[in-house]
Amino acid sequence: MRLVILGCGGFIGSHLLDRLLVDDRFEIDGWDPDVRKIEAHLNNPRLRLRRSTIRAPGALEDIEAAIARADVVLNLAAICNPADYNKRPLAVINANLFDLHPIIELCSAHRRWLISFSTSEVYGRTIASYLPANKYDDPALYELREDDTPLIMGPIRNQRWTYACAKQMTERLIYAHHAEHEMPFTIIRPLNFFGPKMDYIPGRDGEGVPRVLACFMTALMDGKPLQLVDGGQARRTIISIHEAIDAIMLMLERPEKAQNNIFNIGNRNNEVTMAELADAMRRTYAVITGSPRYNDHPIVHVSALDFYGTGYEDCDRRMPDTSKAERLLGWRPKRPLSEVLLETMTYYHQHYARDERTHGLQP
Ligand code: NAD
Ligand code: UGA
């Protein structure tokens, strides 16, 4: 099976390559300017990697040639860090919509199976969140079903929604090419994959505000308080990256089931508020370091305005219905949050331990 993978050097791409490249059935044409997470694979003869963006001069011709000989095209290339959505809205819209437009057209012209990574953020906020009283007692008002749930986003001035809206339009373009030109497709809506190599650590190997796991991890390693945005009551379901990759592998093995479907990929049993996540992470870090003082690591409250700047608005809750993936792919995630955190945080602790000594924080 020949695969084209765009954005193969990121968090999900690196874990996907780990899995695909141990299996000699797969040959990969990959694109990503950032190869730090996939260095172990750079000399693999079954990976033909271009260290470039899909926008670089000449890249599209090269991508078209690869698509023409491919069985599947997977798109992972994106800007997908919430701190960027309201601060770099044009870059976010371009990366998640306009840059992908030519790729979708090429897949359509060559009738290639496009597996596109969308996001659970396309659902926006739940119906329940707009009702005057808390209506979370009725799952119909908050559960996210791929083919039924409306996609609800806030006003234009809240630029948080640039990412979700660009992803939604990309989904609609893909669906339209399927409807009008019979392009086979699969849309994956991930819900908060956690695992090793997820994000950079500010001040070590990147700058800015990463996703919540790396924010809390940085605070623990730097001896700074964990910051809870707007009370920490937003809820997320957390899934192990390895079980998410299982789902993708099952899709590749069962094209007749996977094609022309949208799938939520998440673990509905691992739901936490961000306040609960902060507490779980400090307790896990106490176990990893052997230092009980992390059990009481400080947690402070911060407003979204102070943390993200103007135009941020949060997704209140993301509870996926994953029965479609279970029925069609035979996939059901099982790893509890405690196991996911232990593996992920141990990786970060080991990977950045030298830096931690520099900060004088070893227990
Ligand atoms: P990531 O940021 O770790 O990886 C994205 C990769 O794309 C990066 O390596 C980046 O260098 C590359 N890239 C960006 N622009 C590019 C371009 N123009 N050309 C080539 N490469 C480019 O993100 P991730 O967590 O691996 O997410 C992958 C996909 O899954 C994205 O589409 C994202 O929106 C989606 N997603 C991820 C999650 C999650 O929990 N990780 C959740 C929802 C959606
Ligand atoms: C993320 C990103 O948009 C994408 O990577 C992805 O598409 C999407 O999840 C998804 O899984 O579909 P989000 O979960 O909001 O979105 O991003 P995080 O940065 O991980 O934030 C999660 C929650 O933690 C938010 O409520 C945020 O306000 C909060 N947070 C973040 C804190 O309380 N403290 C922090 O230090 C950082």
Q: Is residue 27 domain-resident?
A: no
Q: What is the reported pLDDT for 132?
A: 86
Into how many domains does the chain fold? 1
- Ligand 1 centroid to Cα of residue 75, in Å, is 9
Contacts with 143 (C-beta within 8 Å, 6 or more apart), sequence order? 149, 319, 320, 321
Tokens 């993200």: give the residue: 308
b/e sequence 210-227, b meaning 16+ C-beta within 10 Å? bbbbbbbbbbbbbeeebb
**Ligand 1 atom closest to Cα of 75?**
32
- Ligand 2 centroid to Cα of residue 196, in Å, is 17
Domain of 272 in residue numbering reads as 78-358
**Ligand 1 atom closest to Cα of 121?**
43
pLDDT tens per residue across span 202-213: 989 999 999 999
Q: What is the pTM of this model?
A: 0.97
Q: Is residue 16 domain-resident?
A: no
Tokens 């011709």: give the residue: 61
Q: Whose CA is nearest to atom 14 of ligand 2?
A: 192
**Pick from 281, 276, 269, 264: nearest CA to 221:** 281
Q: Is residue 280 domain-resident?
A: yes
The average pLDDT across 173-197 equals 98
Q: Is residue 107 domain-resident?
A: yes
Q: What is the reported pLDDT for 354?
A: 52
The DSSP string of 42-108 is TT-TTEEEE-S-TTSTTHHHHHHHHHHT-SEEEE------HHHHTTSHHHHHIIIIITTHHHHHHHH
CATH of the domain at 276: 3.40.50.720
Q: Is residue 122 domain-resident?
A: yes
Compute the distance between CA of residue 298 and CA of residue 295 in angstroms, rounded to an integer. Answer: 9
Q: What is the reported pLDDT for 103?
A: 98
pLDDT tens per residue across span 102-157: 999 999 999 999 999 999 999 999 999 999 877 898 999 999 999 999 999 999 99
Q: Is residue 68 domain-resident?
A: no
pLDDT tens per residue across span 32-55: 999 999 999 999 999 999 999 999
Compute the distance between CA of residue 103 and CA of residue 224 in angstroms, rounded to an integer. Answer: 43
Q: What is the reported pLDDT for 143?
A: 98
Q: Is residue 64 domain-resident?
A: no
Choosing from 163, 294, 312, 352, the catalytic residue is: 163
Ligand 2 binding site (Cβ under 6 Å of any ligand atom) = 80, 82, 119-121, 190-192, 211-212, 215, 227-229, 232, 234, 236, 274, 314-315
Q: Is residue 208 domain-resident?
A: yes
**Number of other residues whose CB lies within 10 A of the CB of residue 207:** 9
Tokens 């902060």: give the residue: 278
**Ligand 1 atom closest to Cα of 31?**
20
- Ligand 1 centroid to Cα of residue 307, in Å, is 23
| Known catalytic residue at 163 | yes
Mean pLDDT of the chain: 95
Are the C-beta atoms of 304 and 312 separated by less than 8 Å?
Answer: yes
Compute the distance between CA of residue 132 and CA of residue 57 in angstroms, rounded to an integer. Answer: 52
Q: Whose CA is nearest to atom 28 of ligand 1?
A: 76
The average pLDDT across 223-249 equals 98
Torsion, CA 12, CA 17, CA 18, CA 23, rounded to 10: 140
